[in-house]
Amino acid sequence: MKLDAKVVVVTGGSQGLGKTLATSLVEEGAVVAIIGRDKLKLEQVQRSIGDSVLDFACDISDPASVRKTFTAIAQKMGRIDALINNAAVYPPFMFEVATDEQIQTVINTNLLGAIYCCREVLPYLKKTSGDIVNISSESVRFYPPLVSVYAASKSALETFSQCLRGEVAGDGVRVSVLRCGSIVSAAAPTLDEKAVAELIKVYEKSGFLAQTGAGMEGSTVAASILHLLSLPRDANIDLMEIRSRN
Q: Which residues are catalytic?
A: 150
CA distance linking residue 44 with residue 2, whole number of Å: 26
Q: Environment class of residue 66 by beta-carbon count within 10 Å: exposed (0-12), middle (13-18) or buried (19+)?
A: buried
Work out whether the CA dihedral 1, 129, 55, 183 comes out positive or negative: negative
Give the count of beta carbons closer than 10 Å to the beta carbon of residue 160: 17
Give the count of beta carbons closer than 10 Å to the beta carbon of residue 225: 27
Provide the 3-class DSSP secondary structure of residue 182: coil
Angle at 36 between CA 31 and CA 40, to 5 degrees: 95
| Segment holding 117, helix H or strand E | helix 113-128
Cβ partners under 8 Å of residue 42, min gap 6:
13, 14, 34, 35, 36, 55, 56, 57
Report yes or no: 4 and 226 within 8 Å, Cβ to Cβ.
no
CA distances to 21, 31, 215, 237 from 243, in Å: 17, 28, 8, 17
DSSP-derived pairing of the beta strands 53-57 and 31-36: parallel
